[in-house]
């Protein structure tokens, strides 16, 4: 290698380093420091390091390039998403088998029974809203990868087992399948249902509640208003890290029309708002299907039930943990509602839950509620005889 060529090579390499360094420094402008981040506790340095690492150009370039190769050559995304036909995306939780699934299902069903019994002792009726999987509602958009055999009969199995346990769980699959002729009930690039799908479920639940005469009291009127439609980038696109270099490869965004629901009441009414929690007849517990305002499930439920509904749903914790927290809350202990609607996506039934935040003895009691009651009944019968 000649001296001129070595100098040219060295200067080019140094220029690349300087250029990449300058490019990465530009990412510092987007760094937001919070009050908790200080030099003394080390949180500022850690947060800055993490932010710099995420913004580092070489990392972004390699991530985008690798994702683009996976996407174009193998029709795959990162773990978490399964690619379907016509730019439909599905969560891989509806596809992969679960180790020890039968045992986990029985454990979770035992908790469902115990939770139902706990609510009944307070005079509260449980309405279990089992949300069908997106793959079940839109099998026509599945690609080569198919759900594991565990998931094929999971919905029917779930319903059969809760019926056997006398848990009230209205069928939501048929209404959603019928509604597909009128529009999308699940988002194409997201895990969740559309506002229309949420409304269909709310109406089906309300009809079931009415047939069983589970609610008493004066009906309340609600009105839902639709806002403007806008592009919506679904959560499943996060598992396709193609942005910004290959953003043109991403599935086109969904179109989401935001809805909002409010009570219809005369001006000046509602002066007792401070005491509203004590008078709310329905509680909603569940996952991001209920907690995320984008779908307006809470509002749709209020309008369909003609009743105020208090939401205790949480995003990112599955259906069991928010329900266990609700049972231990002052809101339930002091003011148990007439009805609890428990939104429970079917795919969570065979999943393991981290219940370490709760008293193990209490969890064991919930699981053994039915056995305990049966033993008490047997003891009582022996005493009577």
H or E element that contains 154: helix 154-164
- State residue 13's pLDDT score: 55
Q: Cα Rg for the chain, rounded, in angstroms?
A: 26
Q: Coil, strand or helix: which one is 14? A: helix
Q: Kindly state whether residue 273 falls inside one of the protein's structural domains.
A: yes
| Torsion angle (degrees, nearest 10) of CA 150, 153, 154, 155 | 160
Q: Residues 295, 353: contact at Cβ < 8 Å?
A: no
Q: Kindly state whether residue 23 falls inside one of the protein's structural domains.
A: no
Q: Kindly state whether residue 81 falls inside one of the protein's structural domains.
A: no
In sequence order, the 6+-apart residues with CB closer than 8 A to the CB of 332 are 122, 283, 326
Q: Kindly state whether residue 291 falls inside one of the protein's structural domains.
A: yes
Q: Kindly state whether residue 49 falls inside one of the protein's structural domains.
A: no
- Residue 355 tokens read as 């219940």
List, for residues 34-92, the tens digit of each pLDDT value.
555 554 555 555 555 555 555 555 555 555 555 555 565 556 667 899 999 999 999 99
Pairing of strands 339-345, 282-285: parallel
Distance CA 131, CA 150 (A): 17
- State residue 261's pLDDT score: 97
- Residues of the chain with confidence (pLDDT) below 70: 1-2, 5-6, 9-10, 13-77, 242-247, 266-278, 370-385
Q: Coil, strand or helix: which one is 142? A: coil
Distance CA 289, CA 314 (A): 9
Domain limits for position 120: 91-381
Largest distance between two CA atoms of the chain: 108
Please state, as a whole number, how many other Cβ atoms lie within 10 Å of the Cβ of residue 15. 10
Q: How many domains does the chain have?
A: 1
CA angle, 172 as apex, 335 and 207 as ends, to 5°? 60
DSSP symbols for 292-319: -TTT-HHHHHHHHHTS-EEE---SSSTT
- State residue 74's pLDDT score: 57
Q: Coil, strand or helix: which one is 322? A: helix
Distance CA 293, CA 297 (A): 7
Q: Kindly state whether residue 18 falls inside one of the protein's structural domains.
A: no
In sequence order, the 6+-apart residues with CB closer than 8 A to the CB of 108 are 320, 348, 349, 350, 351, 353
Q: Kindly state whether residue 12 falls inside one of the protein's structural domains.
A: no
Please state, as a whole number, how many other Cβ atoms lie within 10 Å of the Cβ of residue 77. 21
Quick one: angle between helices 154-164 and 101-121, nearest 10? Answer: 40
- State residue 99's pLDDT score: 84
- Residue 339 tokens read as 């009805």
Which residues in the chain belong to E strands, given as ranges?
Answer: 81-83, 89-91, 125-131, 222-232, 254-263, 282-285, 309-311, 339-345
Pairing of strands 125-131, 222-232: unpaired
Q: Residue 139, Cα to own-chain centre: how many angstroms?
A: 20
Residues with catalytic function: 190, 192, 288
- State residue 383's pLDDT score: 42
Q: Kindly state whether residue 324 falls inside one of the protein's structural domains.
A: yes
Q: Coil, strand or helix: which one is 280? A: coil
- State residue 18's pLDDT score: 63
Closest CA to 237 of 99, 104, 346, 81: 81
- Residue 160 vs residues 115, 153, 164, 309: alpha-carbon distances, Å: 18, 11, 6, 28
């Amino acid at each position: 290698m000649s001296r001129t060529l070595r100098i040219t090579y060295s200067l080019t390499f140094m220029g690349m380093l300087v250029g990449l360094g300058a490019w990465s420094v530009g990412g510092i402008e987007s760094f937001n420091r919070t009050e908790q981040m200080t030099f003394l506790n080390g949180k500022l340095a850690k947060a800055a390091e993490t932010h710099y690492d995420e913004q580092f150009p070489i990392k972004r370039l390699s991530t985008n390039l690798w994702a683009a190769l996976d996407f174009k050559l193998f029709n795959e995304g990162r773990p978490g998403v399964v690619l379907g036909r016509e730019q439909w995306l599905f969560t891989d939780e509806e596809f992969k088998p679960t180790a020890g699934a039968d045992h986990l299902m029985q454990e979770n069903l035992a908790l469902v029974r115990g939770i139902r019994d706990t609510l009944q002792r307070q005079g509260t009726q449980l309405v279990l809203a089992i949300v069908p999987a997106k793959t079940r509602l839109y099998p026509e958009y599945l690609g080569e990868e198919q759900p594991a055999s565990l998931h094929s009969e999971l919905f029917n199995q779930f319903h059969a087992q809760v019926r056997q346990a006398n848990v009230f769980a209205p069928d939501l699959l048929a209404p959603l399948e019928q509604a597909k002729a009128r529009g999308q009930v699940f988002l194409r690039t997201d895990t969740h249902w559309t506002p229309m799908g949420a409304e269909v479920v709310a109406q089906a639940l309300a009809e079931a509640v009415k047939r069983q005469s589970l609610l008493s009291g004066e009906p309340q009127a609600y009105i839902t208003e639709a806002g403007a439609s806008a592009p919506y980038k679904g959560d499943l696109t996060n598992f396709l890290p193609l942005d910004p270099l290959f953003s043109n490869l991403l599935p086109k965004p969904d179109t989401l029309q935001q809805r909002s629901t409010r009570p219809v009441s005369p001006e000046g009414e509602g002066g007792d708002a401070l005491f509203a929690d004590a008078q709310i007849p329905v509680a909603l517990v569940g996952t991001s299907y209920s907690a995320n305002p984008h779908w307006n499930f809470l509002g749709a439920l209020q309008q369909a039930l003609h009743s105020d509904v208090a939401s205790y749903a949480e995003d990112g914790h599955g259906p069991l943990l928010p329900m266990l927290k609700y049972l231990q809350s002052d809101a339930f202990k002091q003011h148990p509602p007439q009805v609890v609607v428990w939104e429970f996506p079917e795919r969570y039934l065979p999943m393991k839950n981290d219940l370490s935040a709760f008293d193990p003895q209490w969890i064991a009691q919930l699981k053994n509620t039915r056995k305990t009651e049966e033993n008490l009944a047997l003891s009582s019968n022996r005493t009577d005889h």
